[in-house]
Every structure is written in C-alpha cells, then in structure tokens.
Structure 1
Amino acid sequence: MKWWLLWCFFVSDMTQNQCSVQANSCSHPCQVNIVSYMEEVNSVLNTGNNNDSINHVKCLEKCLEEQDVEDTKPISVSNLVAVIYKPNLSFTGLKIHANEYEAMPHKPVTNRKVSVQLPEELDAGPNNTIVFCMITWPHTDGTIWGAPSLIYENRLVGLSVGGKNVSGLQKLVNITMNVTTAINETQEPKCVFFNFSTCEYSSQGCLTLWKRGESHITCSCDHLTYFGVLMVTPSLSSKDKEILLYITLIGCSLSLVCLVITVLLFITNRHMRADVSMKVHINLAVALILLNVHFLPSQQVAALSSTGLCLYMALALHYSLLATFSWMALEGVHLYILLVRVFNIYIRRYLLKLSVVGWGIPAVIVSLVVIIDRSTYGHVPLDLSKPQRHHNRV
C-alpha cells in the first residue's frame, strides 16, 4: 500500500512538472539584444528538452512583443525566423510570407514555406505589436512537445499581438503551408495548436483545408498561438464503415448458408457419414457455424443494456473461435497421419479423442478465464473519449 501511495505521488508530481513550465516567470530580461536571446533559444531547441524549449519559446514571444520598432523588423537565427510589425495607421489586415531564412509582411519571398493572413478584426493599432515566429526543429525523434504523431516538416508557426489575448475571431486567421514533402496515402494533415496551459495539442477552433494532391495546407483558426500540422492516420468515413458493414454481413451470411448446406448433405448421405475424414471436416464446419451465428448479431447485442446476454455472446464468441482454431489444427494432424504415416497406423477411438481435443480444450480455456476474472467478458468502452458507446469484449 505504501509503494502504491509513493507511486501516485510520483506520477502526480511528474504531471504537475510537465505543465508548470509555462507558469514560471521568464528568467531572461527582454531588454537585452533580441538576436542573442534567439540564439540562446535556438541552442535550447537543439538539446531536445521539451520543458526548457516550451518555457524559452513562451518567453521569446513575450520579448518579441516588447521590442520597440517603428514599422517592421525581420529577424532570423538558424532555426528561428521572426518578424515584428507595428501598424502605423488603422489596421486593415496583414499578410506575412516566410521561408527558412526570412519573413516579410506584404512582400513575397523566394521558396516560400508559410504564408499567414491576419484579418482586420484583430484591430491592432500603433500601441500593439504583431509578432510572427516560425520554428523549425533541427532534429526530432518524432515528438515535438509531446505531439501524438509527426508534426509536418517539424515546423510550428507562432502568432501573437502585444497587449491582446486574441480568441473567438469571426473572421479566421489563415496559416498556409506549402506541401514540399510528399504526404503518403496512410497520412492525413490535421491543423492543431499548442495549448501552453495544458501542454497539449488541440484542434479546437481550427479547420483543416486540404484535399489530397493539393500543393498547400491551410489552417483556419479563430485565435492566435503556435500552430502546426499534425500527420495523423485517416479514419474511415461513415459511408466507408457502412459499406464494410454490408460486406461483412453478406460475406458471413453466405458462409453460414454454405456451411449449413454442407452439414445437411453429410447427414443425408450414408457414404459420407462412414468416412472419418469427412467427420473431421464436419466438426470444423460446425465450429465455423457457431462462430458465424454468434458473430453476426454481436453488434446488435452490444448495443443492448442486457449484461447477461452480452456475457453469453462474449463467451460463445470466444469458445467458437478457439474451437475453430482447434479443429483447423486437427485437420493438419489428420492429413499428416493419412499422407505421411500411412502404414500400420491404428488409433483406438480416434474420432472421440479428436473431439475431446477439438471441443474440450477451448472449453477449458474459457472456463479458466471465467474463474480467474469474470469481468474479462462483458461491456467495455470502445472509445475512451465517449464512454457511452460499448461493445462486447472477448
């Protein structure tokens, strides 16, 4: 019990430490040369320490907002590209273009990687500083700031307005990234932002505008922070799921009908009943019939609230599946005896022994599982984010 309590305290402390970095005050004075501080941040990025880099990037954003500029100040240090812009007159929107070496407002750049369109709704004035900062990680093990999957080209784009907390915009901010690295068929881009409060990535308030084959990815978001494109495995659409459901139902139904016809032919044919090999085949067919009979209605049973019916369905599915595997293995043993060890082979009560193995071993396994932990069978959440959806577990 003591070890358990110690472990809980350890995990709790680790969780708090992971997300407490943004609460720390910036130890670096913003009055010093901003280029020197960007070089320091760049060196931290090279170390690969997530907590340090998050804290330094957040402080860098603050320092960039506090810089005293008259109009535009582009800055570039290795893996960091930034531009500071201060509107002189009424703000009518701003477009920023950037490549790996520079970022410029209102002006195109060669080999553009990212372009940003800020709406008029920001209402930035002479007292506000608009900051654009693009970070490209020099190396990564596949997780940038704990990302659940790859960040496209290891790049995050940060946007902020000094003196304002921008969120809930009606006219969205558009961040467009050129597709310079091929996106394979198993990946799909998803626009996300890094939440400095929770130290997690989220897609709330962001839309991903992209179709396969397009040369750019556009993220439309209603707030300002650090954005990136997460490469995720695409999930099946509802239409595809419906098509797969019909294919499964039709395929399993045809299999069930053919298996039943096979068993009926065996029962009505006297010569077939006398053949030992045919009896082994029929046992396998019966196991497959049991599997199909219980598999076809399993989804409907899972949707019901009946615990007893769900328990029976899980037990029957597990048993019939194990019986199918057992009789497949016995088919191989039987063929070995027939084709390899042909002469002088006599096994007393041969079919009975096969039946004990084929039907008995699965029963023993299922019984042991029930005795050890009955809760193994029953309702479990299929999607942890939606606990109301349950399915059978075997």
Structure 2
Amino acid sequence: MNECELNRGLCGKHADCINLPGSFRCDCHPGYMHRQAKQMCFDIDECSQTPWLCGPNAQCTNTVGNYTCSCNTGLFPNTGLRWILNQTRCEDLTKIQDGKTCNIPINTGTSSHLNSSSAWFCHITNFNSINFISGYQLQQVAGVLSSALNNTSLWNKLTRGEKSVAAESYLETVERAMLQLTEPSDVLLRKNVRSNNLDMELLIIPFKHNTSEEQLRANKNTLEIKLGKLIEENKQDQITVGFASYTGMESVLDGSFYKNQSSIQLNSQVVTATIGRNHHKLSEPVHLTFHHNELRKTKEEVICVYWKYKGKESSWSTEGCTKLHSNQTHTVCSCDHLSSFALLMALDESQMQENVALTVINYIAVIASLVCLSLAIFTFLFCRSIQKANTTIHLHLSVCLFLAHFLFLVGVSRTEKKVLCAVIAGLLHYLFTASFAWMCLEGVQLYLLVRNLKVVKYSSRQGLRRRYMLLAGYGSPALIMAVSAGVFPGGYGTNKFCWLSHDRGFAWSFLGPVCFTIAVNTILFIAILWTLRSQMCGLNADVSKVKDTRLLTFKAIAHCFIMGCSWILGFFQGLEFFRFVFVIINSLQGPFIFLVHCVLNQQVRMEYRKWFGRIYKQKDSSELTSSTVPMEIITKVSTAESNNCSSTCKGVRVEWSK
C-alpha cells in the first residue's frame, strides 16, 4: 500500500512523504524537524540553538524554515548581499571599500560613467553587479538590502547625481532579487519576506494555472494586477509577481526630484512592482493603493508618480499614472506600466499663500524678539539695582534665546553644505534645549519667591545658588546633546532644514526635554497662582501689599509665556489657527521678557530715566539722587507733633523692607 498516495497530507506541508515496504517515512524540509515522536515537522529556531551562529557584531533572526543574519547598525557584511556562514564579517564601509573610487556606468543609453570616492555610493552601486547564483537566499538578501535604509543620513551625504544613480541601482537590485531568487512551484504560491525597512510579497503562478486578477500587499500598500492576458501569452514557464515597499526611501528620493520643486513632498512609502522577465509594459493597467504617511489635508493636491530611470537625471514622472480616488488616509493610482512608484502631495495656491504669510509673520516676530532680547540683555548687565539671583536666570535665558533665534534666522535653511548644516542643527539643538533648561529654572525660582512672600527676612540668596544654576542651565543640555550625538550622529540636518531628523525618533532628543519642561512649569505655574490667591486673601488690610501682590500675579500670568508653557501649542500644528498662534506667541517670547522684567519693573524704569537724564542733561543732581531710591520699598510714614519743636517740625519714621 502506498500511504503517501492515499493521503497526500499525511506528513504535512513542511515534509516529504517517502513510501516504504509496509510503511512510510516523513522527511522534513531543511529548517524543520520532528518534535518528539510526532510525524509533523516544526520550524527549527536556529538562533536559539546556536547563539553565535552569525558571528560577532551581527544579529540572528529566526524565520519560518530558515534564519537571517544582519550586521549591527553602522556595519555591513564584507561579502555583499550573500551571507556565507563562518566567512562573512561585519565591517565598516571604509574597510570594505578600502578608500578606492568606483566607476559606475550610467543608464542613459550612452557609454558615460560616474566616478565617485564615496564609500557609501560604491557600496550601494556594487549591488547591481552581483549575479544571483546558487547560495543566495531571498530572505538573507532582503535583510542586507533593508540595512541600507537604517541610516538615511548616509544617502543624504551624496550629491544629487550620486543619490539618483545609487537609488536606481538599489531599486533594480530589489527587482532582480524578487524575480530570480524564487523557487519553482507546481501550485499557486504566495510568499512574504519581511525585514526592518523592506517588506515584500511574491506570487508564484505555475504554468497553465488559471487566474484572472490577484492582489498583493506590502506593508500598508496594495497592488491589484490583472493577469489574464499575461497567462495566455505564457507558453512554457511560471510567472512571478513581486511587490515591495521601503521604509525610509521616501526621505532619499524626496519631492525635490519632481520638477525641482521644493514645495512638493512625498506622502507615502516608495513601492516597487515587477513581473516575471521584466514585463514592464502592460496590456491592462495596475491599481496601486497607497497609505498616506500623514493625513491628507483638503487643500492638498495628490500626484501619482513613478521613478523614471535616467541615470544622473532620474526623476519622478507622472507619465502613464493617474489618480482614481483619494481620501484622508489612502489614494488609489492607476498605471499602465510597472516600475517604482510613490505618492506626492502638493500644496494648492491658497495654502502656499498661507505658508508665505506665516513665514513673513515668523520673520517679523523673530526680528522683534531679537531687538527686545538685546535690550533686555543690556539692561540685566548694566542695571546694578536689579542684579541678583533672579536676574542671573533672566540674563542667561535671554542670551540663549537671542543666540538660538539669531542662528535660526540666518542658518536654518543652509542645507547646501551637509557638514555646515549638521553643525548648525547641533548648535540649535543645544541652544534651544539650554533655553528650556533656563525656563525651568525660571519657574522654580519664581515659585520659591512666591512661596516665601510672608517671610520678612527672605533673601534671594536663600533660593537657587548661582553655580548650581549655571551647571543645570548649560550642563544638562550639553549632556543631552552628547548622548544624542553618540547614539545617532547622523541625526543632525535634513534635506529641507538644518534641524533634527525624524529618523529613528531622533527628534525626541529635543521634544523629550521640551515636554518635561512644559509639564514641570505648568505644575509650578498652577502652584504659583494658588499661593498668590491665598496670600491676597490674608492681606485685606494692607493696601500697599495687596497692590504689590496683584502686580506679582499679573507677572506670574505673563510668566506662562516666559516659562515656555505656550509651547504646548506645538502639538496641534495640524490646525491652521494653532500654527499661527504658536508662531506668534513663541516668537514674541523676547518682547514678553523685556516687558515683564524691564518695562514693568519700577527700579529699571528709574534707571532708564537716570541714563536718559545723563545723556540729555534734563535733570539736576537732586532728581538724579532721588531717582536712585528703589521703588519697590514699602514705606509707612507717621507724623507726630513734639512739644519741643515748632509746629512745622515733624518726626518722620521710615521702615525699610526688602
């Protein structure tokens, strides 16, 4: 009896049934084994069985029936796309390329070449020269290709021409891998290959199999393709359909490759669709459903594009692609050929006008802030009557904000030089983080002052010590920046702005301290108002103290902006109203500081009068002398007639307080 013929599923899908005289045997496929005494075959976790299977500086990932090896971040296999057990080593690119230049032919129909000394460019373009012979596995190749998108800052260091050629080589390598590294099959086979930045689905259609329309998914994107005529034309071979989606490629081949327009942005992942033996021209169009990276706004125009191969002049093109349907989260495109595709979002004219208006308002507000901050810094440095611990915080907060706003104004768009842009981004990161550190100290110091209003002999010396303030105000931002740069040195600078990259969540090295400062200062702000309320309730009889407390209450409310609590509006940038309010309020932080700590301070106003009096010589010496008396002193005057004095003689008692 042939048990294998009588029951074809006897050994399961991961084993071959071998008929024996009077019995049968199940032989597991490679990567599978019998578990205990059961006939069924189960996946072997090679990584657990052999922890050092991939060698040093590499990670092992178990897959169904197999395993993959991948190098740690920043390192790459010295054997290219093929991982050879016990031979492949993870090394730095400079060791792999050995500092040599590479001469790459350009796909322009001519015999032109592109010379480059970039180790990254040579590493990526060398992929396309590899022939997929015996020993290459799709899962392993996908893992190496995926690692090339771990750090997009390496791509951004390339020139525009180098980036175009390297990306073209990368996409072609993915196409070849999907078509050439698929095993033959007698049945309709669907295979998924997933890695960190590369998601593939392959459909293997055997010869003479009838199917009219199939759907493939890669990440959150979908490909719908009609195969009727292709199968009819197929005379002798199976058909392989491949669909791949890349995470990170959208920041490499960005919107600037579409007609050199900076206002165009990619709002989807880049995907590649291919079919056996490069059938790029189709008799019936395919439908691509893109998932939006960001919610589409009603005023944004959707553009379906494909990557047009032209070597150094490659670009996004709309030829043969049209939009069928679009909503907030998805867009359906129809294309009459196969290639690599993406979705572009363009602002309409009204939205561009709003952006221009927002930019103009931002520049005006920043310039006004710089003027007020410079006046405040001058005041804090030379007004001796207010030089104390509080003024130290005001001074350093103003200096950090002035330098940050000035550098932002002149350097945030200097993206043409990558190294300079990275330096500017690093300095902006430090200065804005230092500003928030001083905002936090501002909140703590104000809370200590308000809490001790009833203490008669309270001095600013009992507050925060100056040396500790300097350590916290400048040391903590330096520590944050050092850790951030050490973890991800390529996170400084993007294609559009000299600011922090969003890759690997690097922007949270700034957003994290901002959220912490907003949370702390919001709590302190509420505590300050509550303390002032209780103080005012107990001072009904003393009119002068009530007046001082009310003034301090107004200053505390103004401190809501000075302490950075208004930065919480930055989390609502999806709404146009909050964008304008956020830009206006936070750009005017300098005028708030100058208004509260200088203009509304009576001591400072009298110092201003003394300075102007000396310049214009409009006041006599008696006026100058009287103007030096601090105006925050609370005086109580009582008169008493004395029998030993004339009627014009009065005793005056003046009580001096802090």
TM-score norm. by structure 2 comes to: 0.32
Q: TM-score, normalised by structure 1?
A: 0.48
Higher relative contact order (CA 8 A, sep 6+): 1
- Greater CA radius of gyration, 1 or 2? 2
